[in-house]
């Protein structure tokens, strides 16, 4: 019988694969046979992910890179092509968060978020699109957020970047549909990652458990998502089994969008 979600002999790039959701996706793709290239500014985190993949018998390579840097991303993509000859899947996961309203967001904050979350995705897509066209197709998956389309308090600049990424997804899907290149995005609600724990500890010392439960219950399902749950959706959307899906923003939010009242 055929195996579902078979990534054997496929080359997959995961940006920001050194922790959290990116790490979970890198591990999941590798478990299904892919050679995962972890494009990561945090080399130590990237190496940790790669070591875990190799310990499980998988293939992983760390590519140090700042996705906000156009030249570095070009060199990173070329180095992967030199090693494998193909790029079958690009997952734009690298990103930075920010808490703040319009008034409290500085110009430096705004520019930093734009450079990483928007330009970083542009840089990576810009450099993989031609090789994907030349090889006859490929898949691009962008990690966005429910903040892209819903009004979330204190997320002014972050919401701006994620909204841009949603519309970039639609444009790429439309422009390259005849090149057999699919492009989708995933919009999670809160996901329990080290970033969440760090944010709570830094801003609510002594109240960690209380705040964690409060944030968890903002999702109607009553908890935060697990990184593995996001990774499973990514595994499907980038697979051959999802070949009819393109130009779609997938909410994985515990009912946040439709069930909150």
Instruction: Name the residues annotated as catalytic.
Output: 158
Residues in the chain: 261
Q: Which residues pair with 250 in a beta bridge?
A: 186
| Contact between 86 and 31 (Cβ < 8 Å) | no
C-alpha span between 59 and 61 (Å, rounded)? 7
| Contact between 44 and 253 (Cβ < 8 Å) | no
| Contact between 125 and 90 (Cβ < 8 Å) | yes
Q: Among residues 96, 138, 139, 103, which one has the least CA distance to residue 118?
A: 96
Which residues have a Cβ under 8 Å from the Cβ of 153 and sit 6 or more positions away?
none
C-alpha span between 243 and 248 (Å, rounded)? 12
């Amino acid at each position: 019988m055929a195996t579902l979600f078979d990534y054997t002999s496929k080359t997959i790039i995961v940006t920001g694969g050194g922790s959290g959701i990116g790490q979970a996706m890198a591990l999941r793709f590798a478990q299904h046979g892919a050679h995962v290239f972890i494009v990561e500014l945090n080399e130590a985190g990237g190496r940790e992910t790669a070591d875990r993949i190799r310990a499980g018998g998988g293939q992983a390579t760390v590519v140090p890179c700042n996705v906000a840097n156009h030249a570095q991303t070009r060199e990173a993509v070329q180095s992967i092509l030199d090693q494998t000859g193909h790029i079958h899947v690009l997952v734009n996961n690298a990103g930075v968060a920010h808490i703040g309203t319009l008034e409290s967001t500085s110009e430096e904050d705004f520019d930093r978020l734009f450079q990483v979350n928007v330009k970083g995705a542009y840089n990576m897509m810009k450099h993989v699109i031609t090789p994907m066209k030349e090889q006859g197709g490929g898949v691009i998956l962008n990690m966005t957020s429910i903040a892209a389309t819903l009004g979330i308090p204190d997320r002014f600049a972050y919401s701006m970047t994620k909204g841009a990424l949603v519309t970039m997804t639609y444009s790429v899907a439309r422009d390259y549909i005849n090149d057999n290149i699919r492009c989708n995005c995933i919009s999670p609600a809160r996901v329990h990652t080290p970033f969440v724990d760090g944010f709570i500890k830094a801003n609510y010392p002594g109240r960690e458990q209380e705040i964690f439960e409060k944030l968890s219950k903002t999702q109607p399902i009553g908890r935060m998502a697990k990184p593995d749950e996001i990774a499973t959706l990514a595994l499907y959307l980038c697979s051959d089994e999802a070949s009819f899906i393109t130009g779609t923003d997938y909410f994985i939010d515990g009912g946040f969008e439709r069930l909150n009242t």
